[in-house]
Amino acid sequence: MIKVGIIGSTGYAGAELVRILTMHKEAEIVWYGSRSYIDRNYASVYQNMFKIVDAVCMDDNMEELAGQVDVIFTATPQGLCASLVSEEILSRVKIIDLSADFRIKDVSVYEKWYGITHKSPQFIGEAVYGLCEVNREDVKKARLVANPGCYTTCSILTAYPLAKEGLIDMGTLIIDAKSGTSGAGRGAKLPNLFCEVNENMKAYGIASHRHTPEIEEQLGYAAKEKVLVNFTPHLVPMNRGILATEYAKLTREVTYEEVKAVYDQYYGNEKFVRILERDVFPETKWVEGSNYMDVNFKIDGRTGRIIMVGAIDNLVKGAAGQAVQNMNLMFGLDEAEGLDLVPMFP
């Protein structure tokens, strides 16, 4: 049985980790970390866990935690994991970080976009970017995994096969993405109040969203060139879900069958990426509560462009589900253990 500690267990991503790991046959949560609710019963913070989780919240002491568990999940704001991790800790325990601290390989890019000084840049090179469908073999050998962001998971996987095969002009890629409000976290923020969000839709972080360099870096690895994208996120009045609609100029004339074959080549054997039938396009409701990503495309012969669409649940495949998928790989388990979550509908 894998012993698990969670730092940040009372945020939305942390709570989703608790929900998933509670059903995991090979894992046991022994530490529910939460700086905001120390000594509070976890079920009093999330009443849905009443008579399911009988534990109190503890502090975020990573050094103490490393001696009690096999893996630590850090579902915390940017900067915290980097300030806590050390060689001594990594020699004793594996870490899966859900923040951006180790996702971007160029520390100067991280510090520019996140506005903070990186506290442990010596581990950036070692950290494996935990996009399982792309870096599976590296994840298996890792002791530090940088769990991808929610927008980035959807945006990268949607375009990855075509970027990898050189079918799209990366200089023309535009990503238009929408997210539910849980993507902003559980903290009280004026823009996320019900009256601000309900019956409203807005773009934000225009030409400045912090997930942009992460998307560019990973698609750059795929395309083997420096990539710059226009990435525009939008907030929509729903709890969960991300829908990314992406546009790019094709590098040559292609047929539906050719493009479908490329997607099949990369995702045909992937459990958690579902390529939809022709002219059926992803909807967030079809993946809600699950670790699935749905993807499809449409060739626009009139403009010489291709339109790619992907959808995920931002808290599952975009955060906690992917983190558990990474844990399964790191410990040699069935990759899908604990993640056979049927999408909820309606």
Percent of the chain with pLDDT over 70: 100
- Is 191's pLDDT higher than 90? no
127 pLDDT higher than 90: yes
DSSP, res 317: I
pLDDT band at 60 (very low <50, low <70, confident <90, very high): confident
pLDDT, position 114: 97
Specify the range with the lowest mean pLDDT, choosing from 103-112, 162-171, 177-186, 220-229: 177-186
Confidence class for position 11, pLDDT limits 50, 70, 90 = very high
Confidence (pTM): 0.96
Give every strand in the sheet of 2-7, ordered side by side.
57-58, 27-33, 2-7, 71-74, 94-97, 144-146, 128-129
In tens, the pLDDT along 63-95 reads 999 999 999 999 999 999 999 999 999 999 999
- Of 140, 133, 135, 103, which is closest to residue 118 (Cα–Cα)? 103
* Average pLDDT score over the chain: 97
- For the segment 129-143, the average pLDDT, to the nearest whole number, is 98
Beta bridge partner(s), residue 164? none
Mean pLDDT within 157-173: 98
pLDDT higher than 90, residue 189 = no
- pLDDT tens track for 264-318: 999 999 999 999 999 999 999 999 999 999 999 999 999 999 999 999 999 999 9
Asked if residue 100 has pLDDT above 90, the reply is yes
User: Shortest CA distance to 290 belongs to which of 272, 306, 305, 304?
Assistant: 272
Would you say 294 and 276 are in contact if contact means Cβ atoms under 8 Å apart?
A: yes
* Residues labelled catalytic: 150
Residue-range domains of the chain with CATH: 2-126 (3.40.50.720), 151-314 (3.30.360.10)
Residue 188 predicted with pLDDT over 80: no
% of the chain at pLDDT higher than 90: 96
In this predicted structure, what is the pLDDT of residue 34?
Answer: 96
Among residues 97, 74, 103, the alpha carbon closest in space to that of 9 is found at 74
Instruction: Grade residue 186 by pLDDT with cuts at 50, 70 and 90.
Output: confident
* 214 and 131 Cβ atoms separated by less than 8 Å: no
What would the pLDDT profile of 12-24 be if each residue is shown by its tens digit? 999 999 999 999 9
* Angstrom distances, CA of residue 26 to CA of 21, 174, 320, 331, 340: 9, 41, 16, 10, 14
Report, as an integer, the average pLDDT of 233-250. 97
